[in-house]
A and B are shown apart, each in its own frame.
Chain A
Amino acid sequence: MTVLAPAARPQAAAPRTKYVIVENSPVHHAIRAACIAVAALGVLWASQLAPFRVGQFTTVFIMAIAIIGLNLVTGYTGLLSIGHSAFFGLGAYTTGVLIVKLEFAPLATIPIAMALTFVLGLLVGLPSLRIHGLYLALVTLAVAVAFPEIVRKLESLTGGAAGMVVRSRYLAPPEWTGLVRAQRGIWMFWLSAFVLVLVMILSRSLIRSRFGLMMRTVRDHEIAAAANGVGIARTKILVFGISGAITGLAGALFTMYIGALSPDGSFTLLKAIELVTGLVLGGVATQLGPLIGALAVVFLPYYTASFTTGPLSGVLFGAVLIALCFLMPEGIAGRLGLLIRRVVTVVPKDHPAPPR
């Protein structure tokens, strides 16, 4: 099964590009360094904004991490999932419960949250061995729906429908940062930004690794992949595990940021749809897509809500999703990539430069 990602493949139109850059040449390094510098300046600029804006950007970073998790499974491996709200929720609740019931330090809960969501990912990945395409989406949909029900049922642990509050004294920045409790906003901003960068690097290396190649062959042609010795079952299940752990990590950060959890607040099917929307909007199977998509799903509703409220924004949300499929199926990052590739091509060093 293929996925909406024509942009992920290099275009055959390479000879028509104006500039050719050799990979790992000084020019290539300089451009890359400049991009990183611009990004770093952008984050610095964002950290100086009013606390409300800083909070919005923190949400963007957290959403971006969650969408990167989804991108691994849906974008690069082609396994449709609309159940990722459950991973987000399990990560969030694990952190919440560990802090409230066992008085864990917030950062110490992250490995446990990731381990649990990794295991949940393996379990959700199991059906993907036998179920394909839209049927898998249906199974993951059911996971998304089941999660809030289970949270409500396990009342003694999760606070049930009433939700759970993590007191802010538990969430204060650790002492070594030199920040005081009132600076929790800025602490979470930098923590999320740091984790996002880490996750982006990790996901990039994973995709470029041998395993990443296996992921993409499973997506593009499962039978051919199997014939070439790719362990389909192992790849699919492991990807679901990794994807779950990354989205669970986002959930853990979410608890540390928001401090209050309720089953119907952030972990319903709507959240899962929001993650999918972000992924598609940003660009499926692209490196920057999740970040751009997260920016869009955090800021767009905020601006549309300023002139519309309630159901109308839901209608707009649905309309945007459908319109995207028609107008820009490769997403913003994918479209940008196409435009850039029209001007610049990057070729490997040992590869002859394309003729002018």
Chain B
Amino acid sequence: MELFVERLLAGLTNGSVYALLALALVVVYRATGTLNFAQGELALFTTFVAWWLTTLDAPVWVAIVAALIVGFVLGAAIERLLIRPVQRKNDMAVLIVALGLFTGLNSLAGLLWGSETKIMPSPFPNGLDDYVSVFGARLYGDALGVWAALIVLLGLMTLLFRRTRIGLHMRAVAANPESAALAGVRTGRILMVGWGLSGAIGALAGVLVTPLAPEQLGLTTMFHIFIAASAAALFGGLDSLPGAVVGGLTIGVLEALLSGYVSFIGGELQQTSALLIIVAILFIRPNGLFGSKRTVRV
């Protein structure tokens, strides 16, 4: 029982991280209708920025805020300078630019800060004694912090999309850019804000996860998280915020339980199981479990 609860909690914590990055993917999708393949590496890069600031004796909270700002600016700049000029051409051009960013950002982080593993301090209490006991299992402070961040972010994002003008504009642009532009929405600015927001959310995911990740902050830290987050975002159909969260948590928990109880999968087939989840979901429901139906006009 204790072991089960422990695995469940660990799964929920990992799942929250996946959900955070999945939210970033969903924001880009809802604002621009494309997928950002470089999302994980963008998050990695901003996390490195935060880590670098902490080595300069900046308080961890300041470093996180700085990372969020860098994430926003980078995201917006990427949209404006790299994605927008090619997006009109087609999906392939967007994919190539994203793959370029993927390798470029990863290597840039390695170039600037070296490839050895870094220790990112946690903004939450994460000492050995900072835990709450749940059914005998230990729930540490930084895990709780990630959960809290996810809940707050989900709330804020829902408010943004449902209650604010800019959120309405984002939905309008994603649904039909031309009509939105005709109705007076400044589509360019909205797209930039969308990418900027997702950059900032990715940065948040990055700084919160690395203190928890077994491999800490290295050049490959974000990779698995990105794969799992895409599975999570697809699970929810890419356009549903709660869907991304449910997807993230489901994948996190499934992963923890499978690797804990099914010895064949162990810790080594994590990516493969995420792959199988993606394919299975897309096969059963191409629009995801929470996704809205898209109709194609001939």
Q: Which residues of A contact B (CB under 8 A)?
A: 1-4, 74, 80, 82, 126-127, 130-131, 133-135, 137-139, 141-143, 145-146, 149-150, 152-153, 223, 270, 273, 276-277, 280, 284, 310-315, 317-322, 324-326, 329
Q: Is A322 within 8 A of B104, CB to CB?
A: yes
Q: Is A1 within 8 A of B296, CB to CB?
A: no
Given contacts A223-B298, A322-B82, A325-B96, contact A149 B272 (CB under 8 A): yes
Measured CA separation A352–B100 after assembly (Å): 45
**Which of A135, A138, A145, A329 is within 8 Å of B89, CB to CB?**
A329
Asked if B275 CB lies within 8 Å of chain A CBs, one says: yes
Q: Is A134 within 8 A of B227, CB to CB?
A: no
Chain A residues lying within 8 Å of B271, measured Cβ to Cβ, are 142, 145-146, 149
**Which of A80, A314, A325 is within 8 Å of B104, CB to CB?**
A314
Asked if B99 CB lies within 8 Å of chain A CBs, one says: yes
Chain B residues lying within 8 Å of A312, measured Cβ to Cβ, are 107, 111
Chain A residues lying within 8 Å of B159, measured Cβ to Cβ, are none
Chain B residues lying within 8 Å of A74, measured Cβ to Cβ, are 92
Chain B residues lying within 8 Å of A314, measured Cβ to Cβ, are 103-104, 106-108, 110-111
Chain B residues lying within 8 Å of A134, measured Cβ to Cβ, are 34-35, 37, 91, 94-95
Q: Does more than half of chain B's interface fall in helix, strand or loop, or is it mixed?
A: helix
Can you list 16 A-B contacts with CB-CB less than 8 angstroms, sorted by A residue number? A1-B90, A1-B91, A4-B96, A74-B92, A127-B283, A130-B283, A131-B282, A137-B91, A141-B37, A284-B92, A312-B107, A312-B111, A314-B111, A315-B111, A321-B103, A324-B96
Q: Is B106 within 8 A of A145, CB to CB?
A: no
Q: Tell me, rounded to whole Å, the shortest Cβ–Cβ distance linking A124 to chain B.
A: 9
**Which of B35, B107, B275, B282 is within 8 Å of A317, CB to CB?**
B107
Measured CA separation A276–B92 after assembly (Å): 10
Q: Which residues of B contact A (CB under 8 A)?
A: 34-35, 37, 82, 85-86, 89-97, 99-108, 110-111, 115, 223, 227, 230-231, 234, 268-272, 274-275, 278-279, 282-283, 286, 296, 298
Chain A residues lying within 8 Å of B107, measured Cβ to Cβ, are 311-315, 317-318
Q: Is A326 within 8 A of B86, CB to CB?
A: yes
**Which of A126, A152, A318, A329 is within 8 Å of B105, CB to CB?**
A318
Which residue on chain B has the smallest CB distance to residue A138? Answer: B230
Most A Cβ at <10 Å: residue of B85, B103, B111, B115:
B103
6 new A-B contacts, CB < 8 A, other than A223-B298, A270-B103, are A127-B283, A130-B286, A134-B35, A139-B279, A141-B227, A284-B92
Given contacts A150-B269, A314-B103, contact A135 B282 (CB under 8 A): yes
Q: Is A80 within 8 A of B227, CB to CB?
A: no
Chain A residues lying within 8 Å of B102, measured Cβ to Cβ, are 273, 318
Chain A residues lying within 8 Å of B82, measured Cβ to Cβ, are 322
**Which of A142, A313, A321 is within 8 Å of B96, CB to CB?**
A321
Chain A residues lying within 8 Å of B35, measured Cβ to Cβ, are 134-135, 137-138
Measured CA separation A152–B92 after assembly (Å): 31
Measured CA separation A74–B96 after assembly (Å): 12
Q: Tell me, rounded to whole Å, the shortest Cβ–Cβ distance linking B254 to chain A.
A: 15
Q: Tell me, rounded to whole Å, the shortest Cβ–Cβ distance linking A128 to chain B.
A: 10
Q: Is A321 within 8 A of B275, CB to CB?
A: no
Chain A residues lying within 8 Å of B115, measured Cβ to Cβ, are 311
Chain A residues lying within 8 Å of B37, measured Cβ to Cβ, are 134, 137-138, 141
**Which of B94, B104, B234 is within 8 Å of A318, CB to CB?**
B104
Chain B residues lying within 8 Å of A276, measured Cβ to Cβ, are 95-96, 99
Chain B residues lying within 8 Å of A321, measured Cβ to Cβ, are 96-97, 99-100, 103-104
Chain A residues lying within 8 Å of B230, measured Cβ to Cβ, are 138, 141-142
Given contacts A1-B91, A153-B268, A319-B104, contact A223 B296 (CB under 8 A): yes
Measured CA separation A304–B265 after assembly (Å): 41
Given contacts A276-B96, A314-B110, contact A152 B268 (CB under 8 A): yes
